Amino acid sequence: MKVGCVSTFLVFVAAASMARAQTADELVAKNLAARSGAEKLRAVRTMLITGTISFGKESSPITVRVRRPNQIREEFKMQETEITRAYDGSVGWQSQKNGDQSKVDVLGGGDADNIREEAENAIGGPLLDYAKKGSKVETLGKDTWSGKPAYKVKVTTHMGTTITLFLDAATYLEMYEEIERTVDGKLTTIVEEVGDYREVGGVKFAHRFVSGTKEDPKATTLQVEKMEVDVPIEASVFGMPK
């Protein structure tokens, strides 16, 4: 065999080997390893996040509390209205308070699915134990985002919606995602830039999220200023006010 043919053959074998290595489950494993491993992620039981959420020129402090397996509470302000969104493990709800006026509503339909999905994936993300959650994962091959090579992984959740993750081909950390969510009663694709990874409690978590629709992709920015894990949070925190 000529030298040129040998070189071509070796390149072909290497390319084939790389292609075989990038199955959906292997990409999932590499992403979890990049975040410090599945076991460390599973070990985190609670999370307390404080930061700033911006809507265009308006911004507000935000506090997010999370408790496994599927509880979340978010508190922030829009204009002069204090908003709380939460999922207690079975019911999603939202309260709005403006001065002496307040109301509490049970979330239903797609709005309930939105907050439930947030609660289930707030700590570990959609790839951790996806099969146990009833989700399915498939690889969509290679792509690029913001000039960086990426692997695309599509998650179909047990609720029937999809989350497409763009994993940095160098680090295997998530850097961009396309999420199906219900907005104003309609199924809408939300795009989100994910970055500013920092280690908290031995695990890497993103601290910056820029999101919106494809028509307005930078509508909202969440900048995490402080993140704490395994702090005491009682289950009653997530309950709907009577």
DSSP element (H, E) containing 23: none
Identify the pLDDT of residue 4: 52
- In order, the DSSP letters of 117-162 are HHHHHTTT-TTTTTTTTT-EEEEEEEEEETTEEEEEEEEE-TTS-E
**For 79-110, what is each residue's pLDDT tens digit?**
889 999 999 999 999 999 998 899 999 999 99
Q: Assess contact for 231 and 46: CB atoms under 8 A.
A: yes
How many Cβ atoms are within 10 Å of 25's Cβ, its own excluded?
12
**For 16-31, what is each residue's pLDDT tens digit?**
434 445 899 999 999 9
| Pair type for strands 203-213 and 220-229 | antiparallel
What is the model's pTM? 0.88
Residue appearing with tokens 């207690």: 88
Identify residue 87 by its one-letter amino acid code. Y
b (16+ CB within 10 A) / e for 43-71: ebebbbbebebbeeeeebebebbbbbebb
Instruction: Name the CA radius of gyration of the chain, rounded.
Output: 20
* Average pLDDT of the chain, as a whole number: 91
In whole angstroms, give the CA distance from residue 189 to residue 192: 10
Kindly report the backbone phi and psi dihedral angles of residue 31, in degrees, each rounded to the nearest multiple of 5, phi listed first.
-65, -45
Q: Domain residue spans in the chain?
A: 25-238
25-238: CATH, from 3.40.720.10, 1.10.1040.10, 2.50.20.10, 1.20.1510.10: 2.50.20.10
Say if residue 9's pLDDT is above 80.
no
**For 142-189, what is each residue's pLDDT tens digit?**
999 999 999 999 999 999 999 999 999 999 999 999 999 988 888 899
**For 206-222, what is each residue's pLDDT tens digit?**
999 999 999 999 999 99
Identify the pLDDT of residue 106: 97
Identify the pLDDT of residue 112: 94
- Cis link prior to 69 (omega < 30° from 0)? yes
Contacts of 45 (CB under 8 A, 6+ apart): 67, 68, 229, 230
